[in-house]
Amino acid sequence: MEINHSAYTIAEIISGFKRKDIRINRSYQRSGGIWPPSAQTYFIDTILEKYPFPKLYFHQIYDRTLKKPIMEVVDGQQRLQTILDFAQDKIRLSKASQKHTGLTYSKLDEVTQEAFQMYRVPVDVILAAERPQLLEMFRRMNAYTAPLNPAEKRHSIYQGKFKWFAVELADKISPILEEFGILTTKQIVRMADSELIAELVIVLEEGLINRTESSINNVYKKYDVIFAKEEEYSDIISHFFQVITGQFGELRKTFIMKTYAIHSFFSAYAHIKYGIPNGEANLGFPSRGSDIKIDDETIDKLIQISDAHETKDIEGPYGEYVKAISTTTKAAQRKARTKVLAEVLDPQ
């Protein structure tokens, strides 16, 4: 078996399909049509923004009917089918493409069309290989793949509305998460940002509950097909992080920016401004329906909470908050932390 490491422009690939020099071997691939529109848009936007994507695998064989060598696609059907459909105006880009929302290929300007056609797709062409060798090759490749964490497993299982909501929103807020020390680069690469987004949605849906893998899986499952509040929740979460960057820059990379602290910060913010389920019972006051309190005194108190957290000061004025960091994902501790933060952020 030999492997030729190559790259083809999208124009060359489209031409190859038209000439039947490239075809999809469906015995290796899942049936087409499983990517929802949001996934298709996200992939096309990846190309339009000139980001890379994982290489494709072709297997070169000799077609005795056509009397010429051809290449079978053994890995990459969904990506190639999406490229072909977009080039034929069968896909209209959704808001997952911020620059090209609502456009089909023919509606792109000429410069963008040319860039799309000239995008070089990495392809490994497998030569002189029998089917058992191909299967063994992929088995060996997968043997060295790191085990998926729960967030990655969810994104491999679910392909519907909520997954792509999380992916699109993560693209917007991940730079903030990294800049403020909420998540590390490694955590973001392994989809901890999408997991955090799911947890914030659960706050809006169910209030302050225990964090479990099943509760996160359930929100993916619940909104896999229909997600009526997608835009509403996106606006709420996006605005929260805009407030963090715009008003709380002094808290960058402090202990108040720990992931579980941000969960409590968001919960307090969401209850004050919008109300969360059981928020009044858990936090001691009703939703104010207004913005949180933001002034020098507020920021100073948050810095004091962060300092108490760092020094583990359980005797000071924020001892209840510090005691509640011993366990970070249980409902009781989440309520205690959120109550302290809500009292600081309460505008009344």
> What is the spatial distance between Cα 321 and Cα 306, in angstroms, rounded to a whole number?
10
Whether residue 285 sits in one domain with residue 159: yes
Answer with the one of 106, 128, 143 that is the final residue of a domain: 143
What 183-191 contacts at long range (C-beta under 8 Å, 24+ apart), as own/partner pairs, is 183/259, 190/149, 190/151, 190/152, 191/149, 191/151, 191/152, 191/155
Whether residue 194 sits in one domain with residue 320: yes
Tokens of 106: 């023919």
Residue 34 has a pLDDT of 67
Whether residue 27 sits in one domain with residue 9: yes
> What is the spatial distance between Cα 334 and Cα 199, in angstroms, rounded to a whole number?
12
Residue 320 has a pLDDT of 96
Whether residue 121 sits in one domain with residue 43: yes
Whether residue 294 sits in one domain with residue 160: yes
Handedness of CA 23, 27, 32, 35 (dihedral sign): negative
Whether residue 209 sits in one domain with residue 328: yes
Whether residue 118 sits in one domain with residue 180: no
Region of 51 (left: φ > 0; alpha: ψ -120 to 50; beta: rest) is beta
Answer with the one of 79, 114, 143 that is the final residue of a domain: 143
Whether residue 186 sits in one domain with residue 139: no
* Overall number of domains in the chain: 2
83 exposure class (CB count in 10 Å sphere: 0-12, 13-18, 19+): buried
CB of 164 closer than 8 Å to CB of 173: no
Q: CA 236, 237, 240 angle in degrees (round to 5)?
A: 90
DSSP annotation of 227 reads -
Whether residue 14 sits in one domain with residue 120: yes
Whether residue 59 sits in one domain with residue 169: no
Answer with the one of 93, 116, 143 that is the final residue of a domain: 143
Whether residue 187 sits in one domain with residue 67: no
End-to-end CA distance of the chain: 73
In Å, what is the CA distance from 49 to each residue of 6, 98, 103, 274? Answer: 21, 10, 15, 35
10: containing domain: 2-143
DSSP annotation of 238 reads H
Residue 133 has a pLDDT of 85
Whether residue 230 sits in one domain with residue 124: no
Q: Please list the alpha-helical segments (H only) found in the chain.
A: 10-18, 37-48, 77-87, 110-118, 131-143, 150-157, 161-179, 185-189, 192-206, 213-222, 230-247, 259-273, 279-283, 296-311, 319-323, 331-345
Q: Any idea how long the chain is? A: 348
Residue 31 has a pLDDT of 47
In Å, what is the CA distance from 304 to each residue of 251, 291, 300, 326? Answer: 11, 22, 6, 18
Q: Please give the order of strands across the beta sheet that includes 22-24.
A: 2-9, 120-127, 56-63, 68-75, 22-24
- Written as tens digits, the pLDDT of the chain (348 aa) is 889 999 999 999 999 999 999 998 776 655 445 678 888 999 999 999 999 999 999 999 998 888 889 999 988 888 999 999 999 999 999 888 889 999 999 999 999 999 999 999 999 999 988 878 887 887 787 777 778 899 999 988 888 899 999 999 999 999 999 999 999 998 998 999 999 999 999 999 999 999 999 999 999 999 999 999 999 999 999 999 999 999 999 999 999 999 999 999 999 999 999 999 999 999 999 999 999 999 999 999 999 999 999 999 999 999 999 999 988 999 999 999 999 999 999 999
> What is the spatial distance between Cα 129 and Cα 140, in angstroms, rounded to a whole number?
15
Residue 301 has a pLDDT of 97
Residue 136 has a pLDDT of 83
Q: Which residues neighbour 211 within 8 Å (Cβ) at sequence distance 6 or greater?
A: 199, 329, 330
CB of 154 closer than 8 Å to CB of 163: yes
